[in-house]
Amino acid sequence: MSSQGFTAWFTQNGITEVECLVPDLTGIPRGKIVPAGKYLSGGTLRLPESIFSQTVTGEYPEDEETGSDPAGIDMFLLPDESTLRVVPWAKEPTAQVIHDCQYIKGGIVSIAPRAMLRAVLELYAAQGWRPVIAPELEFYLVARNTDPDYPLATPIGRCGRQESGRQSYSIDAVNEFDPVFEEMYDFCELQGLDIDALIHEEGAGQVEINFLHGDPLQLADQIFLFKRTMREVALRHEIFATFMAKPMENEPGSSMHLHQSVVDAKTGENLFGDRDGETSNAFLSFIGGLQKYLPAAMAIFAPNVNSYRRLTRHSDAPINLQWGYDNRTCGLRVPYSDLANTRVENRVPGADANPYLAIAASLACGYLGMIEGLSATPPYRGSAYDLPYALPRELSHAIKIMENSAELQRVLGERFVRVFSAVKRLEYETYLHVISSWEREHLLLNV
């Protein structure tokens, strides 16, 4: 869309202001809100590069840890016209546009999550491949909670009671919050978000949203916008929507499962099947890459200290990287399908992961497997929960494994790994200053 196209769209929709969005490492929307006239005037919009080294608590690592210029570097914001949408909940007609970042002296800002995903997709394109993604995102609806010292509680539905038991796939449990989900669907339709299905998951108040399969960058944009939309809809109904990996101690965690396949960029043929009607060597190599490199990318799939509370035995979350046909106890599941729809479901990422980074990292692992011609283990039958843990159990361990993987760093970028590790290490160190209620309850008078 040209500048004239932007002007025509703004005029058609009566736009008075623009939200210029940039996803940071956590997935938080950063940016600026500017009047529509100023946005269309052609003036440059700038942000400091430091938005990509800011922790979730608002702190910054030392410059020498991230390789940043101590004087601070500004970036130009470049609008991606394909992401232009209205903001459905705004009181005044407002547009939102996701922006890419470029250094003032030229060159893309490679540590930006969208840029990192694009770089991985370019590696696939260079091989004549095109990855396809279909995400499944889980989250909880919870009662408003304004005191972080108090545990979360399920919200009150139409019947006037809280959901107290687990209601997997229950239609009636979803209908308890019909007004919430009706508005969610309306807002998603206005933004062109391709929602496929809504399911009540196992946890009390837990819901899963499935997205239609498609281009990885477009799907990452949709997840980014959906999280923002769902939080806003929930607030309008006096409840919260949370994408924490493990928001309640006695309920299952929330994931972001990624269904992945790779097709020939020219023919559209699924490379995971061969002409003999069997799964292909490329399919097994993709899985082999996931099995070898997912532990090194674990800090991306489980980026917060809370993330690892989800990954426990017998909790609908993986503890290792076995793969199996339609086996939900495995970290890598291959749903039964015809060869044209053969895909691998990566069940490791949490709902709290940045969608751009999680998709990029998962595809990077599969890419390395295909390039290196790796082999997968035999498919696992039975419960993979009976096997030992094979994934990092906490954030600091995951960071160390990432920093020691030269292969993954070559794909994701050494600067990105350096900045991401510094941010996550600082978040971990900040967390260690917190004294939990468990410590006060069990240690205060007993040790």
pLDDT bucket at 71, cuts 50 / 70 / 90: low
Considering only CA atoms, which of 367, 340, 335, 363 is closest in space to residue 267? 340
Note the pLDDT of residue 2. 59
Considering only CA atoms, which of 363, 185, 169 is closest in space to residue 259? 363
pTM, full prediction: 0.96
Residue 119's H or E segment, with its range, is helix 113-126
Q: What is the mean pLDDT of residues 27-56?
A: 93
Task: Determine which of 40-44, 138-142, 246-250, 347-351 has the lowest per-residue pLDDT on average.
Answer: 40-44
Note the pLDDT of residue 105. 87
* Torsion angles phi and psi, residue 258, rounded to 5: -120, 110
Q: What is the mean pLDDT of residues 18-26?
A: 97
pLDDT of residue 146 exceeding 80, the answer is: yes
pLDDT of residue 362 exceeding 80, the answer is: yes
pLDDT bucket at 64, cuts 50 / 70 / 90: confident
Using CB atoms within 10 Å of the CB of residue 348, give its burial: 0 to 12 exposed, 13 to 18 middle, 19+ buried.
buried
C-alpha distances in Å from residue 221, one per residue of 1, 2, 63, 75, 383: 18, 21, 29, 21, 35
pLDDT bucket at 379, cuts 50 / 70 / 90: very high
Which one-letter amino acid corresponds to residue 304? N
Tell me the sheet residues that pair with 197.
Answer: 210
Could you tell me the domains of the chain? 3-109 (3.10.20.70), 120-409 (3.30.590.10)
pLDDT of residue 1 exceeding 60, the answer is: no
CB 392 within 8 A of CB 347: no
